[in-house]
């Protein structure tokens, strides 16, 4: 299924390549003749973000006639996400696919992406990301010396634990939930009534297994690909956040290219969003099936209101702090 989607996207892209290739030959930039970059990815090779990274790398090489080479390093080979963000600032990693929640530590206004229940659903979320609001956030990445290239889907984040299933916020009392570094999710978990521990993604499985934490929160594909469901087999679809994935490049890497090649990088990255979103849909469905087959208890909530109410105060506080973000979020609702 996955490869069919990729094939389709590659054919579409091929048509664009022919036109662009010609343009590239005609123009000429005063920048470096060729560059070779590294792209850091925390997920395994077959995860939708990684496949989109690879598509981006291949297309970029093709359309630049080999002037731009990108090697994708999956499985956190270049380090955990937070470390990679630091490495980018130091100039040792050029490209990075990361989750928006992690960026908050480097560009504080990105903490806004962690505001719980900010988006009504997938359509609203993508209206925002692909509109002026989403672009304005990408532009803010210049504060950390990076250029935001594209968003990828990451669905909604939900709670999972071992022991007793979570049916209402109160059930989190006395439970310790892992959250991503740099995010406001710790506060979300605490408002629900639990306690929160910040931990790198790669530590979560053993953290749950050894009882340091009782669970975590994530989307279905991550819950499955990390096999966290083996050690925390209760999933509650409370969907407290929709936090995008972002593909970024360091400004210093971008500066090595001619104007024309910079444009090419931007274009190919934007197209890779479509590749990733299609793969994402398939992955969510497959993950759901894997969880059902594994006998995981999936708690669907007819009404998420108790969870929404528990974080209403927090949401209001952050909405005050990030007013511009919330205005753009509101505006994206009207376009639905
Ligand atoms: C995933 C995301 C990863 C990572 C992870 C986490 O949804 O794709 O990049 O941030 O969550 O919880 O650490």
Q: To which residue do tokens 């007793």 refer?
A: 164
Distance 222 CA to ligand 1 centre (A): 7
Kindly indicate the confidence band of residue 336, based on its pLDDT and cuts at 50, 70 and 90. low
CB of 52 closer than 8 Å to CB of 246: no
Q: Whose CA is nearest to atom 6 of ligand 1?
A: 201
Which pair of structure tokens corresponds to residue 282? 């398939």
Mutate to test the pocket of ligand 1, among 218, 223, 279, 283 (most ligand atoms within 8 A of CB): 218
**Cβ(225) – ligand 1 distance below 6 Å:** no
Q: Is the CB of 218 under 6 A from ligand 1?
A: yes
Judge whether residue 271 has pLDDT over 70. yes
Which ligand 1 atom is the nearest neighbour of the CA of 154? Answer: 7
Residue 99 Cβ contacting ligand 1 at under 6 Å:
yes
Residue 196 has pLDDT above 70, yes or no: yes
By most ligand atoms within 8 Å of CB, the mutation choice from 99, 205, 217 for ligand 1 is: 99
Closest residue by CA, ligand 1 atom 11: 218
CA 209/CA 205 separation, integer angstroms: 6
The 10s digit of each residue's pLDDT in 55-107 is 999 999 999 999 999 999 999 999 999 999 999 999 999 999 999 999 999 99
14 vs 44 pLDDT, higher one: 44
Q: Is the pLDDT of residue 22 over 50?
A: no
Closest CA to 58 of 50, 69, 67: 69
pLDDT interval class at 6 (50, 70, 90): low
Asked if pLDDT for residue 24 goes beyond 50, the answer is no
Q: Is the pLDDT of residue 3 over 90?
A: no
The whole-number pLDDT of residue 33 equals 86
**Does residue 40 register a pLDDT over 90?**
yes
- How much is the average pLDDT of 99-124? 98
Strands 195-198 and 176-179: parallel
Order of strands, sheet of 95-99, starting from the edge strand that comes earlier in the sequence: 68-73, 35-40, 95-99, 245-250, 146-152
Task: State the average pLDDT for the chain.
Answer: 92
219 lines ligand 1 (CB under 6 A): yes
Cα dihedral value 262, 263, 264, 265, nearest 10: 50
Ligand 1 pocket, mutate which of 40, 41, 42 (most atoms under 8 A from CB) = 42
At 140, which helix (H) or strand (E)?
helix 132-140
What residue's CA is closest to ligand 1, atom 5? 201
Atom of ligand 1 nearest to the CA of 216: 12
pLDDT per residue as tens digits for the range 205-242: 999 999 999 999 999 999 999 999 999 999 999 999 99
Nearest-atom number in ligand 1 for the CA of 243 is 7
Q: Is it the case that residue 165 has pLDDT exceeding 90? A: yes
Average pLDDT over residues 138-151: 98
Selected residue with higher pLDDT from 273 and 19: 273
Residue ranges and CATH numbers for the domains of the chain are 2-154+243-279 (3.40.190.170), 156-242+286-311 (3.40.190.170)
Q: Does the beta carbon of 245 sit less than 6 angstroms from any atom of ligand 1?
A: yes
* pLDDT attached to residue 74: 98
User: Could you tell which of 74, 81, 183 is best to mutate to test the pocket of ligand 1, judged by most ligand atoms within 8 Å of the CB?
Assistant: 81
pLDDT at site 152: 99
């Amino acid at each position: 299924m996955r490869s069919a989607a990729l094939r389709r996207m590659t054919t579409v892209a091929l048509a664009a390549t022919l036109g662009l290739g010609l343009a590239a030959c005609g123009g000429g930039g005063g920048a470096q003749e060729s560059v070779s970059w590294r792209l850091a990815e925390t997920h395994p090779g077959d995860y939708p973000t990684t496949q989109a990274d690879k598509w981006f790398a291949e297309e970029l090489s093709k359309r630049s006639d080999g002037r731009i080479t990108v090697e994708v390093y999956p499985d956190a080979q270049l380090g955990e996400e937070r470390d990679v963000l630091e490495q980018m600032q130091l100039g040792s990693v050029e490209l990075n696919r990361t989750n928006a929640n992690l960026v908050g530590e480097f560009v504080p206004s990105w903490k806004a992406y962690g505001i719980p229940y900010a988006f009504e659903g997938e359509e609203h979320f993508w209206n925002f990301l692909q509109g002026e609001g989403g672009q304005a956030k990408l532009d803010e990445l210049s504060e950390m010396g990076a250029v935001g290239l594209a968003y990828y889907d990451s669905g909604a984040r939900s709670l999972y634990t071992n022991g007793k299933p979570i049916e209402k916020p109160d059930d989190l009392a006395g439970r310790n939930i892992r959250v991503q570094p740099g995010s406001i999710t710790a506060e979300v978990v605490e408002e629900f009534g639990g306690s929160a521990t910040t931990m790198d993604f790669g530590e979560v499985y053993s953290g749950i297994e050894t009882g340091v934490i009782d669970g975590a929160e994530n989307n279905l594909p991550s819950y499955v690909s990390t096999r966290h469901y083996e050690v925390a087999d209760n999933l509650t679809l409370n969907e407290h956040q929709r936090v995008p994935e972002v593909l970024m490049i360091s400004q210093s890497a971008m500066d090595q290219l001619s104007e024309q090649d910079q444009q090419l990088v931007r274009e190919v990255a934007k197209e890779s969003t479509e590749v990733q979103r299609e793969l994402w849909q398939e992955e969510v469905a497959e993950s759901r099936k894997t969880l059902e087959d594994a006998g995981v208890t999936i708690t669907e909530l007819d009404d998420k209101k108790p969870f929404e109410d528990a974080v209403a105060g927090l949401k209001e506080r952050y909405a005050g702090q990030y007013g511009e973000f919330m205005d753009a979020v509101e505006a994206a609702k009207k376009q639905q």
